[in-house]
Amino acid sequence: MNASLPLSLSENTVRELVQRFGTPLWVYDAATVRERIEALRAFDTIRFAQKACSNTHILRLMRAQGVKVDAVSHGEILRALAAGYEPGTPAQEIVFTADVLDAATLACVAQHRIPVNAGSIDMLHQLAAVSPGHPVWLRLNPGFGHGHSNKTNTGGEHSKHGIWHTEFEAALEVVRARGLVLAGLHMHIGSGVDYAHLAQVGEAMLGLVRRAHALGLQVPAISAGGGLSIPYQAGAPRVDVQHYFGLWDEVRRQAQQLQGREVHLEIEPGRYLVAESGVLLSEVRAVKDAGANHFVLVDAGFNELMRPAMYGAYHAMSLVAADAQARAARLSVVAGPLCESGDVFTQGEGGTVLARPLPQAQVGDWLVVHDTGAYGASMSSNYNSRPLAAEVLLDGAAPPRLIRRRQTVQELLDLEAV
């Protein structure tokens, strides 16, 4: 089926964008991002998990709306700083979340006094050794997790993430003994999580606050993590964020009552804020049949959008006919240009090629892949020596703005001119 174009894009706008900026092209819509932010306003802090989309212009847009930021690498910290985020406490505009601290990151968080959300006890020791009194969050693995794929489940014993829940007292003891300052408790059990699982996290969080309280430790803030899903498939349910906030507000209320102090409530979404704001535009370069399968080959591959190849993820698609003529539907397998069989945008988790009805494509048409604002450009690679695609931001009536120019092959070669 030809899904109708998202983001109020018209076929003409798609034509203008590809003619001006070329393909493959990432396009984002600022209004959609702002809308998603507003939906989460009830939380004290909305912290954007920038791994979903780390372009500094998107980060600036977030900061202008009062959204704080999570960084998971030295590079992401430098991006946040470049976008104008102020490091340090008490505002905690940037928090660094990880399970390891490499030397460069350790020096950086110590220099800027960026709070560290620690997923391992070793991180606490390493931090305390160089930065006395450093503010830390503890990221706990509650012993269960969930996600749209096993690869995005970040809880339970198969996950490397977070401090295992039975180690909580040991971690608190390290915080106390090494003179670190407890800034908050954090849990993130996975990405693309269903509602029932998301709700379990609140109960687990309350248990932790009780255990900290029993040891005489105050928990000033709690984070619900990210994980909120979006309806990639037509008709899939949308997360009821008001209800979700209500669950966490109740956790916060009980934590406040227990401790006799205010408790700050954070949420840390990536996908929810940006996924639906983005599309990937590509051009149809070949159509061919292989036995029962009709292949539509476009000029974007999994080096651009990795999600289908990595998780069997579903993305809706629309075809924009270059001649603007109506086309009959045809079951099509949509694939990219890479020299690899897994370079297919319509596939299931095990790599099974799946055909879906699309208007009969012709060379020169444009394919619009929907909901690629999260984990699209940020997961791209240079595989097959393909330069990173350009990114464009649409903002109301303003002219489309190039927010990342297309990389060149020469830039790749320059790295090797040693």
Residues with a catalytic annotation lie at 339
* Binding-site string for ligand LLP from residue 196 to residue 225, where x marks contact by CB under 6 A and - marks none: -----------------------------x
Q: Is 28 annotated as a binding residue?
A: no
Query: Which is nearer to ligand LLP, 123 or 321 (by Cβ)?
Result: 123
Q: Which residues 309-338 are close enough to bind ligand LLP by CB under 6 A? A: none
Q: Which CB atom, from 63 or from 271, has the smaller least distance to ligand LLP?
A: 271
Number of Cβ within a 10 Å radius of residue 297: 21
Q: How far is the CB of 386 from ligand LLP (least distance, A)?
A: 19
Residue (of 294, 292, 307) closest to 343 by Cα position: 307
Range in contact with ligand LLP (rule: CB under 6 A) among 127-135, 185-193, 199-207, 237-245? 185-193
# chain residues binding ligand LLP, by CB under 6 A? 21
Q: Which residue in 176, 221, 228 sits closest to 199, CA to CA?
A: 228
375 binds ligand LLP per the rule CB under 6 A: yes
Helix axes 56-64, 74-82, angle to 10 degrees: 60
Q: For residue 397, which phi and psi values (nearest 5 degrees)?
A: -85, -5
Cα separations in angstroms, 39 against 26, 272, 378 = 24, 10, 24
Task: Determine, following the binding rule CB under 6 A, whether residue 36 of this chain makes contact with ligand LLP.
Answer: no
Q: Is 134 in the site for ligand LLP (CB under 6 A)?
A: no
> CA 373 to CA 69: how far, in whole Å?
17
Q: Minimum CB separation from ligand LLP for residue 214, in Å?
A: 26
84 is known to lie in a ligand binding site: no
| Given 228, 251, 317, 319, the residue binding ligand LLP (CB under 6 A) | 228
Q: How far is the CB of 103 from ligand LLP (least distance, A)?
A: 22
Least separation, in Å, of the C-beta of 119 and ligand LLP?
8
46 binds ligand LLP (CB under 6 A): no
Cis previous bond, 135, omega within 30: no
Residue closer to ligand LLP (CB basis): 126 or 191 = 191
Binding site annotation covers 327?
A: no
154 touches ligand LLP (CB under 6 A): yes
On whether 271 is known to bind a ligand per the annotation, the reply is yes
Nearer to ligand LLP by Cβ, of 227 and 301: the residue is 227
Q: Cα–Cα distance between 213 and 394 in angstroms, integer?
A: 48
Q: Is 227 annotated as a binding residue?
A: yes
Phi (first) and psi of residue 390, to 5 degrees: -80, 160
User: Among residues 21 and 272, whose Cβ is nearest to ligand LLP?
Assistant: 272
Interactions with ligand LLP, residue window 238-297 (CB under 6 A)? 268-272
From 29-37, 184-192, 351-359, 395-403, span contacting ligand LLP (CB under 6 A):
184-192
Q: Which of residues 57-76 bind ligand LLP (CB under 6 A)?
A: 70
Least distance from ligand LLP to the Cβ atom of residue 3, Å:
19
Label the pairing between strands 94-98 and 116-118.
parallel
Residues comprising the binding site?
227, 268-271, 307, 311, 340, 375
Per the annotation, binding residues for pyridoxal 5'-phosphate are 227, 268-271, 375
List residues near ligand LLP by CB under 6 A: 49, 52, 70, 97, 152, 154, 188, 191-192, 225-228, 268-272, 307, 374-375
Binding annotation for substrate: 271, 307, 311, 340, 375
